[in-house]
Each structure stands twice: as structure tokens, then as C-alpha cells.
A and B are shown apart, each in its own frame.
Chain A
Amino acid sequence: MSGETSSSLASPAAVAVPFKPPVVRRGLSAIVINHPTFVVGLAILTVVFVLALTADILYPGDPMDMVGPPLLWPFQDMEYPLGTDSLGRDVAAGLVYGARVSLIIGFSAASIGLLIGTLVGAIGGFFGGLIDNALARLTELFQTVPTFLLVIVIVAIGEPSLPVMALAIGIASWPTIARLVRAQFRSLRQQDFVMAARSLGYSNTRIIFMEILPNALPPVVVTASVMVAGAILTETGLSFLNMGDPNLVSWGSMIGGGREMLRTAWYLTALPGIATALTVLALNLIGDGLNEIFNPRMRQR
């Protein structure tokens, strides 16, 4: 049988209608070719990760220390390629150490949010009825309180340290995941494979975690990358308001510090902001890419 579509043309007129058969690629090369933005996002994030991990090697010593003359503009002195701030601290060193804080907060806060959200959503969506109603109300309640205000209050309860900030951001961000997981569970629990698991006498816990959850995961994974991005943005805002850990350099605190010099040395504000935007951009690109990979239908649009 001939694979060429054009060979079976009934009319010569149709020969004028050429088209290429779609090339179907699989595996890693398919992702690289079909989702270039995903790869770009992954590349940027990898660079940020490497910089954060090698901060001690690149810039040994405390980034809070004064190392050079104050207020050097970027590229003015190649010893401090991104310049120095009003106290003579190296901006490049600050950015590299700040990457650590942002990544730690971003990923731990998103994990906490994911954990709470998945549990609340899964339990509500799976059991339904009164429990679901109560949990849905709780979710709604948390969504009505302005997220950032809630984070500030929780940080004020504890102390401005990394674990407390991560916890606060996590607690404030779980409702999104809870709604998503709940919707997934509500539709999935009706499906045949859950019926089958029930008829085999599996426990609810097993059905929730072993049967339904893996099927509910794709949209959760997509949202998770957006949550990491959101957590990094929240952390930046928090440190900008001086509510972060005073002993650590973070992008937000650098923006806050640079704000005093906004009129004369705006690069002090611009650079940490660009670092934040790039990292968050990378995470969003990854999220969009994952979305495309999980929902191939979207690509055809």
C-alpha cells in the first residue's frame, strides 16, 4: 500500500494541492523542537540554579560586606561588573546570594501550598457532602482575605526568617490548588477505574493517593510552576517592605535599598528587579510549556 496520499488522487487538478505529511517526533528531541519556549525557560532557571548553588565559590565572604567604592555604575569598574551600592557592596554578589533566597522560598512555599491544597482538595472532592461543603467554605474564606495581607500577618506572628516566610506564603497560596484538585477529584471519582478500585475493596486512602491522585496530577504540575513564580514574587514584595530576614540579602531587600537612591542610581533598583522578572519568566515559560505538553490540543490553536 502506498503511503503517498497524492498517488491516489482521482483528478489531476488535485495534484496542485501539495502538503507535507506531519512529522511526528517523540521523546526529548520532540520537546526541544516543539516547545522552544519551554526549553528557554528551563535554560534560564538552570542558570539561576547554578549561580545560587555556586554563590560561595563565585563570591566567597558575606555579600553584606563593603568591598569597594560606593555607587559604582555597572561596567564602570570591571572588578564589580554590575556596580556597587551606596555602602560599597557588590551588586553582582548580592544578586547571586539573592537567587538562593528566592529559589529556597519559591520552592518550599510552593511545596507547602501544594501539600495543603492537594489534601484539602482531594478530601473535599473525594468524599463530597458535608466535609466538602465545609472545606469549600474554608477555601473561599482564605480566598476572600487579601493574600499578601495574610502573609504579612503570619510573618508578624513568627519572626522574619526563611522557614516562617515560606510557611506564610504556603498557607496563603493553597486555595488555588485546592480548588483545582477538588474539581479534578469530583470528575475523576465518577470514573470506571475508581469504581473498579472500590469493588476490589481498596481503602479510601489508597484510592485517593494511588488511584485518583496520579490522574489528577498534570494540571497540578502546571499550576505548581506558576505557584513557585508567585511565591518568589510574594517574597520579593515582603523583603521590599523590610519584612524579610534582615540577615540575608534578597532581591526584594535590594530593590527596597535601591529605592532610596532611585533618582540618582536607578540601576540599584533595576538590576534585582530584572533578576526577579527573569526567574519568574523562566518559571512561567516552563508552566506554559508543561501545559502544552500535557494538553497537545492547545498547540493546534
Chain B
Amino acid sequence: MRLLSRTGRSLRRTLIQAVPTVIGIVILNFLLLQLVPGDAADVIAGESGSATVESMAALRKQFGLDQPVLVQLLSYLNHLAHFSLGFSPRYNMPVGELIMARLPYTLMLMACAFTLSLVVGIACGALMAAFARRWPDRAMSLVVLVLYSAPGFWVGLMMIVLFSVHLGWLPSGGAITIGANLGFWDAVGDQLAHLVLPSFSLACFFIAVYARLTRSAMLEVERQDFVRTAQAKGLTPFTIQIRHVLRNALIPVTTVAGLHLGNMLGGAIVVETVFGWPGMGRLALDAVMARDFSVLLGVLLLSSFVVIFANVLIDLLHAWLDPRIEAE
């Protein structure tokens, strides 16, 4: 009961704090994008190759690009207030639909990679802490340090070489096997097989981050008095490590996990490109190339939402992990 009211309070606080952040992000991004040389009309005209000054002006008028910046901003905010992300001149469809088609894939990839990095990272860190300063710790520390240092997308490419090209175990790209007519469970299996490499590729850096953090947090906690109390109760080392040490070490780990979410979403752009994953990251990249700012703004906004939403989840997790939060 107490947990419920506590999480409720923390949820409300986070959401209230999120509102100015989102508005700030919209305005900041909007102004930033105005600085980009060229606009969608330039690109469209450039691609068609037969643009006249008149047709360009018509295009700009059609998309409202001829208006002063402030007017464009207000009009964009007005659209937002009506839950509309505007219209993409390049794809010739509403930005909302465009993003919604990609969002599930990005969320799927993010959720897999985030879960993978937390679970594997914390497990590795706990093992390293349990064997601290002995050879299993040193060996794992080296592996973790390599994961921490190698570009994730490059690890992904190398995994394609090993698992797709040489072993043929996993698909090298795409989100599903195109054209295959599969039953429900086969389709799920197919989807998961396509998820493995991109998720690991995106997660590997964060696995290293959480493993290092878990190790040092656990070693810090191990020196606390209550660990000695637990030992004096005759508990087994395993129980002490999991129930007493890890439980406390998770608090700083989840805090940092929240901070890294934005980075992970950024990393998804490259990983999606490597694996041909139809997510928001590639959409954003295409939008930059095409100077399609309404799409880019929409992606930036949506990714901020994803980060904020995930942070709410982290906050809930935090409130559950640390009963002292209520007191603050």
C-alpha cells in the first residue's frame, strides 16, 4: 500500500517535470533546425531537376516555409496541441503516421537492448564482484573493457561475419523474413531471430557500462556494516550477495541506466542502419539528408517522449528498490 502511494507520488512529480522539458526540446530543436542551410523545397527541387523559381516558391508556400520563423514555430506548436506532428513534404504523408509505422520497431529494439544490457550487465558485474581481484574477475573485466571500447555497430558487423556469413545461424539484416508465409509461432521466432544481432550490437556498450558500475557499487556496499550483520546471521555468501549487496547496489545502477537511455536511442541510429532495421533512427537519418524538418522534429520529439517515459519506469523501479525515497 505504502509502495503504491509512493510510486504514485513519484510518477506525478516526474510527469510534471517532464512538461517544461518537452516544450523546451520542441523550441530548441525547432530553432536549431532553422539554422540548417537549405530546406525541403531545395531537396525536392534538386531531385526532380526541373525547378523554377516559381515552382520552388509554390512548394515553400504550400508547406508554410515562406513564413517568418516565429509564425512557423507557433503554427507547429498549434499543430502539436492538436496532437498533430505536421505533414512531411518529402514522403507526402502526415508525420504522425510515418513515425507510428516506425515506432514499434524502435521500441522493440530499445526494449530488447535495454533489458539485455541491464540483465547481462548486472549479472556480469555481480559475478565480477563475487570474484573480485581473482582471475575470473580479471578475465571478465578485460572482456567488459573491450565491449566498453569497441564501437557497438562494428561489433554488430563482426557478428554478422561470424553468425550470418560463416555459421549461417542468424539473419544479417531486416526486421522479418520478407515473403515468408509463417504461422504465428514461426513468425515470432523469425522476429526474435532478426532481433538478436541488432539488440546485442546496441546493448554491448551498455552491458559494459552496467557491469562496471554493478561491480564497483557492489564492492562499495560490501564494506557496509549491515553486510557484517548479515554474515553474523549465518546466511550463505550467495544470499548475502543477492539479497543484501546486490539489492543495494542496484540503486546507483538504475539511476545511471536512466541517464544512458538517450545515448542508447542515439546509438540505435547507426545500428538500425547496419542491420536495415526499419526504426525511427533511420527515418531521422533520411530526414536529415532530405532536409525534411517536420519529420526530424517529430522524431526528436518522440524520442524525447520515449526517454521521458522510460525514465518514469526507472523512477518507479527506483521507488520500489529504495524505500528511503519517500523521505526525501
A residues with CB within 8 A of B: 137-138, 140-141, 143-154, 156-157, 229, 233, 236-237, 240-241, 252, 255, 259, 262-263, 266, 269-270, 273, 276-278, 280-281, 284-285, 298, 301
Which of A146, A156, A263, A273 counts the most B-chain CB atoms under 10 A from its CB?
A: A146
Known: A156-B36, A277-B146. A233 touches B151 (CB 8 A): yes
Known: A149-B266, A157-B35, A266-B161. A144 touches B153 (CB 8 A): no
Q: Are the CB atoms of A144 and B21 closer together than 8 Å?
A: yes
Main secondary structure of the interface of A (DSSP, over half): helix
Question: In this assembly, does B288 line the interface, its C-beta being within 8 Å of a C-beta of chain A?
Answer: yes
Q: Are the CB atoms of A281 and B21 closer together than 8 Å?
A: no
Q: A280 to B147: give the CA distance in the assembly, Å.
A: 10
Q: A4 to B286: give the CA distance in the assembly, Å.
A: 73
Q: Are the CB atoms of B304 and A144 closer together than 8 Å?
A: yes
Which one of A148, A150, A270 contacts B270 once the chains associate, using CB atoms below 8 Å?
A148
Q: Are the CB atoms of B145 and A285 closer together than 8 Å?
A: yes
Q: Are the CB atoms of A149 and B269 closer together than 8 Å?
A: yes
Instruction: Output the least CB separation between B169 and chain A (Å).
Output: 15
Q: Are the CB atoms of A153 and B32 closer together than 8 Å?
A: yes
Q: Which residues of B contact A278 (CB under 8 A)?
A: 149
Q: Which residues of A contact B163 (CB under 8 A)?
A: none
User: A283 — nearest CB in chain B belongs to which residue?
Assistant: B149
Instruction: Output the least CB separation between B31 and chain A (Å).
Output: 11
Q: Are the CB atoms of B157 and A262 closer together than 8 Å?
A: yes
Known: A153-B33, A276-B150, A284-B145. A145 touches B262 (CB 8 A): yes
Which one of B20, B158, B304 contacts A269 once the chains associate, using CB atoms below 8 Å?
B158
Q: Are the CB atoms of B28 and A280 closer together than 8 Å?
A: no
4 tightest A-B CB contacts, nearest first: A148-B266, A146-B266, A273-B154, A281-B149
User: B265 — nearest CB in chain A belongs to which residue?
Assistant: A146
Instruction: Output the least CB separation between A85 and chain B (Å).
Output: 15
Question: In this assembly, does B127 line the interface, its C-beta being within 8 Å of a C-beta of chain A?
Answer: no
Q: Are the CB atoms of B158 and A149 closer together than 8 Å?
A: no
Q: Are the CB atoms of A270 and B29 closer together than 8 Å?
A: no
Interface residues in B136-164 (C-beta closer than 8 Å to A) = 145-146, 148-151, 153-155, 157-158, 160-161
Question: In this assembly, does B245 line the interface, its C-beta being within 8 Å of a C-beta of chain A?
Answer: no
Instruction: Output the least CB separation between A155 and chain B (Å).
Output: 9
Q: Are the CB atoms of B307 and A144 closer together than 8 Å?
A: yes
What are 15 inter-chain pairs, A to B, with CB distance below 8 A?
A141-B24, A141-B25, A144-B262, A145-B300, A145-B304, A146-B263, A148-B270, A149-B265, A149-B299, A151-B266, A153-B32, A154-B32, A266-B161, A277-B154, A301-B223
Q: Are the CB atoms of B151 and A137 closer together than 8 Å?
A: no
Instruction: Output the least CB separation between A113 and chain B (Å).
Output: 14
Question: In this assembly, does B259 line the interface, its C-beta being within 8 Å of a C-beta of chain A?
Answer: yes
Which one of A148, A153, A236, A280 contacts B296 once the chains associate, using CB atoms below 8 Å?
A153
Question: In this assembly, does B284 line the interface, its C-beta being within 8 Å of a C-beta of chain A?
Answer: yes
Number of B interface residues at 8 Å Cβ cutoff, please give it: 53
Question: In this assembly, does B303 line the interface, its C-beta being within 8 Å of a C-beta of chain A?
Answer: yes
Q: A210 to B215: give the CA distance in the assembly, Å.
A: 36
Q: Are the CB atoms of A141 and B21 closer together than 8 Å?
A: yes
Instruction: Output the least CB separation between A152 and chain B (Å).
Output: 6
Q: Which residues of A contact B148 (CB under 8 A)?
A: 280-281, 284
Question: In this assembly, does B188 line the interface, its C-beta being within 8 Å of a C-beta of chain A?
Answer: no
Q: A152-B285, A241-B270, A255-B153 are in contact. List 11 more A-B contacts (CB 8 A).
A: A137-B21, A144-B25, A144-B304, A144-B308, A145-B303, A149-B281, A149-B284, A154-B32, A157-B35, A157-B36, A266-B158
B 251-273 to A, binary, CB cutoff 8 A, 1 in contact else 0: 00000000100110111111001
Q: Are the CB atoms of B149 and A141 closer together than 8 Å?
A: no
Q: Are the CB atoms of B262 and A147 closer together than 8 Å?
A: yes
User: A173 — nearest CB in chain B belongs to which residue?
Assistant: B263
Q: A148 to B151: give the CA distance in the assembly, Å.
A: 13
Q: Which residues of B contact A147 (CB under 8 A)?
A: 262-263, 266
Q: A284 to B145: give the CA distance in the assembly, Å.
A: 8
Instruction: Output the least CB separation between B323 and chain A (Å).
Output: 24
Known: A255-B154, A284-B148. A148 touches B267 (CB 8 A): yes
Question: In this assembly, does B132 line the interface, its C-beta being within 8 Å of a C-beta of chain A?
Answer: yes
Instruction: Output the least CB separation between A140 and chain B (Å).
Output: 6
Q: Are the CB atoms of A269 and B270 closer together than 8 Å?
A: no
Q: A281 to B145: give the CA distance in the assembly, Å.
A: 7
Q: Which residues of B contact A259 (CB under 8 A)?
A: 157, 274
Q: A272 to B155: give the CA distance in the assembly, Å.
A: 12
Q: Are the CB atoms of A262 and B151 closer together than 8 Å?
A: no
Known: A266-B161, A277-B146, A277-B149. A149 touches B303 (CB 8 A): yes
Q: Are the CB atoms of A146 and B154 closer together than 8 Å?
A: no
Known: A144-B262, A263-B165. A273 touches B25 (CB 8 A): no
Q: Which residues of A contact B220 (CB under 8 A)?
A: 301
